[in-house]
């Protein structure tokens, strides 16, 4: 897409779709909400590829994040209008296990190249009482942040966006101060387009972080309920327009 004048812009969005299936009513509604926003890049967490707009290109984080594997489910999917060049560390590493992290480079319709990271940071009780059942509250969350901090230096210092389910509000609300400090430290050098109050006074846990050269122009949300009251997800989604300079 193109801003009025000669300044290229890019539209990116992210939404945790709570495993809604693309062939069921709530999943179809989500798909019908995603496509018309005309995003250049989308990140869907806890979702299925079939919920994404047709005609684009998808990379994902793999099917195994330590819970029973169910066909088609992915913790993180990235969609772009243009083809992806996946990064070598796109499917995990010793620092970040497979399943919750995927990265690649893609072009916008204006021809600008962007590095995009899709992430699903574990929630506070990940593997505490479900799946592996061998963690303490916030243990997986903090381990992911520590791993990401180690590989952050591999990301470019410009035209880079990290988006997905961060499982914390920014500024801090209910997360322990220690855990919030770990989040801010892990994302040092990045800004958050989604911090503070968003349209309707809402506070997000699905976030869009970016390098300082990208300038947010506007941000909008996808509501977690349909007009008739149908619950679409336990999260609302967010999308943002950036000036590329």
Q: CA-to-CA distance for 194 and 192, rounded, in angstroms?
A: 5
* 76-102 per-position pLDDT tens digit: 999 999 999 988 654 445 677 678 999
User: By CB neighbour count within 10 A (0-12 exposed, 13-18 middle, 19+ buried), where does 201 fall?
Assistant: exposed
Q: How many CA atoms lie within 13 A of 27 on its CB side?
A: 15
What phi and psi values does residue 43 have, to the nearest 5 degrees? -120, 120
CA-angle at 28, arms to 26 and 31, nearest 5°: 115
Structural contact between residues 244 and 41, judged by C-beta atoms closer than 8 angstroms:
no
Which of 112, 111, 114, 12 has the alpha carbon at shortest distance from 103? 114
Residue 48's pLDDT is what? 98
Measured between alpha carbons, how far is 101 from 148 in angstroms, rounded to an integer? Answer: 9
pLDDT 10s digits, 143-201: 999 999 998 988 999 999 999 999 999 999 999 999 999 999 999 999 999 999 999 99
- pLDDT number for residue 111: 85
Q: What is the pLDDT of residue 241?
A: 97
Does 50 or 6 have the greater pLDDT score?
50
| CATH number 3.20.20.70 given to 9-243 | no
**Secondary structure (3-state) at 166:** coil
Report the range out of 57-66, 107-116, 232-241 with the highest average pLDDT: 232-241
Q: What share of the chain has pLDDT > 70, as a percent?
A: 93
Nearest alpha carbon to residue 40 among 108, 106, 86, 102: 108
pLDDT-based confidence at residue 4 (cuts at 50, 70, 90): very low
Domain ranges of the chain: 9-243
* pLDDT, the chain, mean: 92
């Amino acid at each position: 897409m193109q801003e009025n004048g000669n300044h290229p812009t890019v539209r990116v969005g992210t939404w945790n779709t709570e495993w809604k299936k693309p062939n069921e009513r709530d999943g179809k509604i989500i798909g019908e909400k995603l496509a018309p926003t005309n995003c250049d890049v989308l990140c869907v967490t806890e979702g299925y590829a079939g919920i994404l707009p047709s005609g684009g290109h998808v990379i994902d984080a793999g099917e195994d994040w330590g819970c029973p594997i169910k066909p088609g489910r992915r913790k993180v999917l990235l969609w772009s209008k243009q083809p992806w060049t996946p990064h070598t560390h796109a499917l995990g590493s010793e620092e970040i296990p497979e399943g919750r992290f995927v990265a690649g480079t893609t072009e916008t319709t204006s021809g600008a190249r962007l590095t995009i990271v899709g992430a699903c940071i574990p929630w506070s009780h990940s593997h505490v009482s479900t799946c592996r059942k061998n963690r303490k509250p916030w243990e997986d969350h903090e381990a992911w942040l520590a791993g990401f901090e180690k590989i952050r230096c591999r990301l470019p210092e410009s035209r880079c966006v990290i988006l997905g389910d961060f499982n914390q509000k920014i500024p801090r609300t209910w997360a322990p101060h220690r855990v919030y400090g770990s989040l801010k430290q892990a994302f040092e050098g990045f800004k958050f387009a989604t911090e503070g109050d968003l349209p309707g006074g809402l506070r997000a846990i699905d976030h869009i972080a970016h390098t300082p050269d990208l300038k947010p122009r506007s941000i909008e949300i996808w509501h977690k309920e349909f007009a008739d009251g149908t619950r679409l997800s336990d999260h609302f989604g967010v999308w943002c327009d950036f000036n590329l300079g």
